[in-house]
Amino acid sequence: MSISESRIDMVNLHSQYMLLKEEIDSAMAQVIASSDFINGEQVKLFERALADFLSVKELIPCGNGTDALQLALMALDLKPGDEVITTAFSFVASAEVIALMGLKPVFADIDPLTFNIDPLDIERRLTKRTRVILPVHLFGQAADMSAIMQLAHKYQLYVIEDVAQALGACYNYKGETKHLGTIGHIGCTSFFPTKNLACFGDGGACYTDDPSLAERIRTLAAHGSRNRYYYDMIGLNSRLDSLQAAVLLCKLPHLNSFIENRRAVAKQYDELLADIPEMEIPGLQKGAIHSYNQYTIRVKDAKREKLMDELKRTGITSRVYYPLPLHRQKAFKDYVKAGDSLNHSDKACEEVLSLPMHESLDAKDVEFVAARVRDFFK
């Protein structure tokens, strides 16, 4: 079958499984044979292995990335009505947990180059009730953490980093290359199947260098209990099961190579698409190492949907992340002032398009996708 007759998907979960099939099957069989499904040895091993990978003192696995964000906020002992500034251009989870906890999500606009929250707009939106900045490292790209941490120190705010799409990405902070999530007070991540480090279902983690915050998060994730059947606080039931931890332990040693493969794919896309005036390739944050959970272009002049249709016709999947910014979503209408302007977020939702991106794409696949994009703009 020729490449033009095959299908190129956004992700290829099967190919990654086949690469590690023998190891994964054996690891899962060991858990099943042990019947140690909850808080088993594999969970403890993964907790330590990922903490070492990230060079962080404490890591607490949990049920999913959304739980990780909620646990992080709960650990800060915030009060109803306290404000958390986050991005308007992202998946809903970050703003959702803020609202669910009785806090006020305050949406800031993005840097149009990186799609990440703009520190200048964060500062414009600070009030006496602001307690937390929650940047999302979107698509695998670091937010401007130097500027964000300067604001946090200046105004005595917490920083929770949403690293759901960017585990393994790095940022040069004060002359040191650090993994995202280890710069602010708490990092939160997801192991959803489409992430760069992915399990076979849901999973997540919080991580921090602060032992007191780690202890609170660990307790909150276990129904608020430090000792079985004794409850010190209202908590959640959020844990990573042993089967998922076994899968993640198999994949973690390969994460850096997965990211390098993605970066090679992105570089090839850049070289093949950079000269098309009707679109823009992804911009890069200075001092950062992008992990490319997504490769997201801008399509100008309202041509995005036509390009998507043409790609689909030739067997190429593409996606819009995201079609409507959070400040325009019905669920958040009570949190947004009439006439509030977040123009860059609005514009991004009109133009962004993510092309196939995974570590199994080869040079011919990328050439085929890029050729179809170039053909469309001729």
pLDDT tens for residues 342-364? 999 999 999 999 999 999 999 99
What per-residue confidence (pLDDT) applies to 339? 81
Over 80: is that where the pLDDT of 1 sits? no
CATH topology of domain 16-253: Aspartate Aminotransferase; domain 2 (3.40.640)
The pLDDT, as a whole number, for residue 4 is 43
pLDDT tens across 270-318, in order?
Answer: 999 999 999 999 999 999 999 999 999 999 999 999 999 999 999 999 9
What is the reported pLDDT for 6? Answer: 67
Helix (H) or strand (E) holding 32: helix 21-34
The backbone region for 342, taken as left when phi is positive above 0, alpha when psi lies in -120 to 50, beta otherwise, is beta
Please check whether residue 93 is in contact with residue 330, taking contact to mean a CB–CB distance below 8 angstroms.
no
The fold of the 255-377 domain, in CATH, is Aspartate Aminotransferase, domain 1 (3.90.1150)
Q: If residue 45 lies in a helix (H) or strand (E), which one and from where to where?
A: helix 41-54
Omega cis (within 30) before 322: yes
Give me the half-sphere count of Cα atoms (radius 13 Å) on the Cβ side of residue 60: 30
| DSSP secondary structure letter of residue 283 | P
Beta-strand runs (E) in 180-312: 186-190, 204-208, 225-227, 230-231, 279-280, 288-289, 295-299
Listed in order, the ranges of the chain carrying CATH 3.40.640.10 are 16-253
Confidence of residue 2 (pLDDT cuts 50, 70, 90): very low
Query: Where in the chain are all domains bearing CATH 3.90.1150.10?
Result: 255-377
Q: How confident is the model at residue 5 (pLDDT cuts 50, 70, 90)?
A: very low
- The pLDDT of 315-340, averaged and rounded, is 96
Q: What is the pLDDT of residue 218?
A: 98
Whole-structure pTM value: 0.97
Give 137-176 pLDDT, tens digit per residue.
999 999 999 999 999 999 999 999 999 999 999 999 999 9
Compute the radius of gyration of the chain from its Cα atoms. Answer: 21
Average pLDDT, stretch 223-252? 98
Write out the H or E segment, with its range, that includes residue 59.
strand 58-62
Task: In whole angstroms, give the CA distance from residue 72 to residue 161.
Answer: 10
Which two tokens mark 204? 């997540």
Over residues 86-138, the pLDDT tens digits come to 999 999 999 999 999 999 999 999 999 999 999 999 999 999 999 999 999 99
Most distant pair of Cα atoms in the chain: their distance: 68
Tell me the C-alpha distance between 292 and 263, whole Å. 7
pLDDT tens track for 176-234: 999 999 999 999 999 999 999 999 999 999 999 999 999 999 999 999 999 999 999 99
* pLDDT of 246 above 60: yes
- Listed in sequence order, the DSSP H helices in 102-189 are 119-124, 145-155
pLDDT of residue 17: 97
CB 115 within 8 A of CB 352: yes
* Residue 46 in this model has a pLDDT that exceeds 70: yes
